Amino acid sequence: MKFPIDIPFVDDLGAQYHERPLGEALIVLDSEHRHTNSFGVVHGGVVLTLMDVAMAMAARSMPDDSGAQARGMVTIEMKTSFMQPARGRLEAYGTLVHRTATMAFCEAQITDAAGKPIAKASGTFKYIRHRDLSDKASTS
């Protein structure tokens, strides 16, 4: 399924968004040779990206206190632990753990097609309006 928002980098990777309940997100990637490093396994940056996007999408899925759909997200901090090399189909599952009016605290895990854990992450995200970034970009 296509992402509900335009994320060109993630589209270029070939990742797919799968609808989940509020506060959750599932991102799936059928890895290809172009996703690998010199060891022939999926590059750690791809794994990080999938978990980062899964966490951000989980946080975005929750309406704010007024009932409006959440604004954009930027990653403030992310900690990742890699458990084993990634190959084949990867599923990144993100969950919103806690949120405030301006911040979201999330977790993610990524598994292979057999359900074996590949990596885990936790992250802190800031809710922003898209115009906040475009205003700064146009003045710098």
pLDDT digits 0-9 by tens, 16-65: 999 899 999 999 999 999 999 999 999 999 999 999 999 999 999 887 76
In angstroms, the CA 74 to CA 86 distance is 25
Unique residue bearing structure tokens 């899925």: 61
Spell out the residues 6+ positions from residue 136 whose beta carbon is closer than 8 angstroms to its own. Answer: none
pTM over 0.75: yes
Confidence of residue 3 (pLDDT cuts 50, 70, 90): confident
Strand ranges of the sheet holding 72-82, from the earlier edge strand across to the other edge: 16-18, 24-30, 89-99, 103-111, 117-128, 72-82
Distances, alpha carbon 89 to alpha carbons 7, 17, 108, in Å: 20, 14, 16
* Mean pLDDT, residues 78-102: 97
Is the CB of residue 75 less than 8 Å from the CB of residue 123? yes
Least confident of 17-21, 71-75, 106-110, 135-139: 135-139
- What is the per-residue pLDDT across 99-122, written as a single tens digit (0 to 9) for each? 998 999 999 999 999 999 999 999
Is the CB of residue 87 less than 8 Å from the CB of residue 112? yes
